[in-house]
Amino acid sequence: MAEVLSKGNLFDPELVTDLINKVKGKSSIAVLAQQTPIPFNGQKEFIFTMDSEIDIVAENGKKTHGGISLDPITIVPIKVEYGARVSDEFLYAADEEKINILKAFNDGYARKLARGLDLMAFHGINPRSGTASAVIGTNHFDAKVTQTVDFNVADPDTNIEAAVALVQGSEGVVTGAALDPTFSAALAQMKVNGVKQFPELAWGANPGSINGLKADINNTVSAAGTNNDVAILGDFTNMFQWGYAKQIPLEIIKYGDPDNSGNDLKGYNQVYLRSETYLGWGIMDGSNFARIVKTEG
């Protein structure tokens, strides 16, 4: 166990598996889109656009050019980190207690990583500052998805139908939806002749699917008021990819001021736990998604 205290060691594989499983349970992106490993140096995905339909060729007949375009999408991992100060008693604790502390750190980091993935991929913001990230640029749903439907709190079901029509009108399919609690609450309150139409959403429930469509309810969709989204739906299965570089380093830093707080670790009898993860994602075709948004005012 002593090696765990060396700077720059990796999380134990069991903790990495546990970490990613927790992320999958707390991130709408991870719920709706399958995760694939992303190489540290990134990867290119190639999207072919066939301009015409297939052509019947008669015996001895002439073949004609159908037309094709190729748009590469580059998925480059972005480094994210989280660190926290703990008492230097951690260094002298029994092995079992050190493991418990690392598991607790792992649990907390998983929650932050899950929320951060959504905030970055949905809205292009730095999760800590809540402001637009130049590193992410336009690689996020708010920038790439231009098909929108205005939110009608009295008839959210019609909003969903309109958003689905937009995606299908672009020859796409809808495989999943991420809903803000505001939107799911509106669905839960919908009644026809006094009968609730979506009783499975009552009392803030998150059933996993609505009307057979895979769905997740998460306040990351609205990002605490930093944007107007209340729902994002589309082809998360085929037109969105995300992943992480498998090696997740964990540092136990004993000296200095690694968080630039002005307080020296030794001077305050502390050590600093820091973990870093490389996350990448890509939206293959923004026209295969639609957003339901609140109108200003």
Domains and CATH numbers, the chain: 2-49+69-293 (3.90.1690)
Residue 14 pLDDT > 70: no
Instruction: Output the pLDDT for position 277.
Output: 87
Burial zone of 275 (CB within 10 Å; 0-12 exposed, 13-18 middle, 19+ buried): buried
And the tokens for 288?
Answer: 């295969």
CA dist 19 → 106, 248, 253, 295 (Å)? 6, 10, 21, 37
Residue 257 per-residue DSSP state: -
For residues 160, 166, 171 and 177, what is the CA-based torsion angle, rounded to 10 degrees?
A: -30
Instruction: Output the pLDDT for position 39.
Output: 62
Burial track 240-263 (b if 16+ CB lie within 10 A, e otherwise) = bbbbbbeebebbbbeeeebeeeee
pLDDT tens by residue, 108-158: 888 888 999 999 999 999 999 999 999 999 999 999 999 999 999 999 999
* Confidence bin at 290 (pLDDT 50/70/90): very high
Instruction: Output the pLDDT for position 173.
Output: 96
Instruction: Output the pLDDT for position 43.
Output: 62
What average pLDDT does this structure show over 168-182?
95
CA dist 223 → 31, 115, 116, 227, 228 (Å)? 17, 10, 10, 7, 9
pLDDT tens by residue, 215-248: 999 999 998 666 799 999 999 999 998 988 766 7
Q: Is 262 left (phi over 0), alpha (psi -120 to 50) or beta?
A: left
| Residue keyed to tokens 């999760």 | 127
* Contact in structure between 265 and 122 (CB atoms under 8 Å): no
* Confidence bin at 8 (pLDDT 50/70/90): very low
Task: State the DSSP H helix or E strand holding residue 19, giving kind and residue range, or none if neither.
Answer: helix 13-26
For residues 3 and 61, the model is more confident at 61
And the tokens for 58?
Answer: 């008669």
* Confidence bin at 9 (pLDDT 50/70/90): low
Other Cβ atoms closer than 10 A to 42: 14
Instruction: Output the pLDDT for position 124.
Output: 94
Burial zone of 185 (CB within 10 Å; 0-12 exposed, 13-18 middle, 19+ buried): middle
What average pLDDT does this structure show over 198-214?
95
- Rounded-to-integer distance, Cα 242 and Cα 61, Å: 45
Instruction: Output the pLDDT for position 134.
Output: 93
What is the full DSSP assignment across 81-146?
Answer: EEEEEEETHHHHS-HHHHHHHHHHHHHHHHHHHHHHHHHHHHH-B-TTT-SB-TTTTT-SHHHH--
- Rounded-to-integer distance, Cα 120 and Cα 133, Å: 8
* Contact in structure between 133 and 125 (CB atoms under 8 Å): yes
Q: Is 129 left (phi over 0), alpha (psi -120 to 50) or beta?
A: alpha
And the tokens for 99?
Answer: 């493991």
Residue 196 per-residue DSSP state: E
What average pLDDT does this structure show over 257-281?
90
Instruction: Output the pLDDT for position 5.
Output: 35
Residue 73 pLDDT > 90: no
* Confidence bin at 86 (pLDDT 50/70/90): confident
